[in-house]
């Protein structure tokens, strides 16, 4: 048994070669499904992050960078026709900023109109 110090996964040396390939394929399918669910529920960034970290944890993987993970997740969503169903980013920060700017302008106008 080998424990990866980076991802804390346990890799068994005595796994049969045929079973290992099937397990990896099943794991990749599970990662794909979970990434799609995260994209739909939390947004594309969370799905890409999950895909990237989990694919890099797979035994024998060469590692994926963020651009490859982004491309893979977008291709998964496009293949299932779910690109328009992905949750859009929240715009509350822009609204709050706009309200604060308007309050500052109103305060300045009020201050100079009192003189």
Please write the tens of the pLDDT for every residue from 8-46.
Answer: 565 555 544 444 557 788 888 899 999 988 888 888 888
φ, ψ for residue 4 (rounded to 5)? Answer: -75, 125
99 in any annotated domain: no
CA nearest to 32, candidates 92, 84, 72, 88: 72
Q: Is 35 exposed, middle or buried (0-12, 13-18, 19+ CB in 10 A)?
A: buried
21 in any annotated domain: yes
- 48-67 tens-digit pLDDT: 999 999 988 887 777 788 89
Considering only the C-alpha atoms of the chain, give the largest distance between any 2 of them, rounded to a whole number of Å.
Answer: 86
Query: Is the distance from CB of 74 to CB of 47 less than 8 angstroms?
Result: no
φ, ψ for residue 112 (rounded to 5)? Answer: -75, -20
58 in any annotated domain: yes
Q: How far apart are CA 7 and CA 15, in angstroms?
A: 19
With H, G, I as helix, E, B as strand and everything else as coil, classify residue 65. Answer: coil
Q: How far apart are CA 89 and CA 41, in angstroms?
A: 11
* pLDDT value of residue 17: 46
Domain residues for the domain of 59 are 2-88
36 in any annotated domain: yes
* pLDDT value of residue 48: 92
pTM: 0.59
57 in any annotated domain: yes
The tally of domains found in the chain comes to 1
């Amino acid at each position: 048994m080998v424990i990866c110090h980076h991802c804390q996964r346990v890799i068994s040396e005595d796994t049969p070669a045929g079973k290992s390939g099937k397990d990896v394929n099943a794991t990749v399918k599970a990662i794909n499904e979970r990434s799609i669910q995260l994209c739909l529920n939390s947004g594309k960034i969370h799905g890409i992050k999950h895909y990237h970290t989990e694919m890099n944890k797979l035994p024998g993987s060469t590692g994926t960078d963020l651009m490859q993970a982004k491309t893979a997740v977008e291709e998964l969503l496009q293949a299932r026709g779910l690109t328009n169903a992905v949750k859009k980013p929240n715009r509350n920060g822009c609204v709050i900023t706009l309200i604060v700017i308007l309050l500052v302008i109103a305060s300045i106008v009020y201050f100079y109109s009192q003189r």
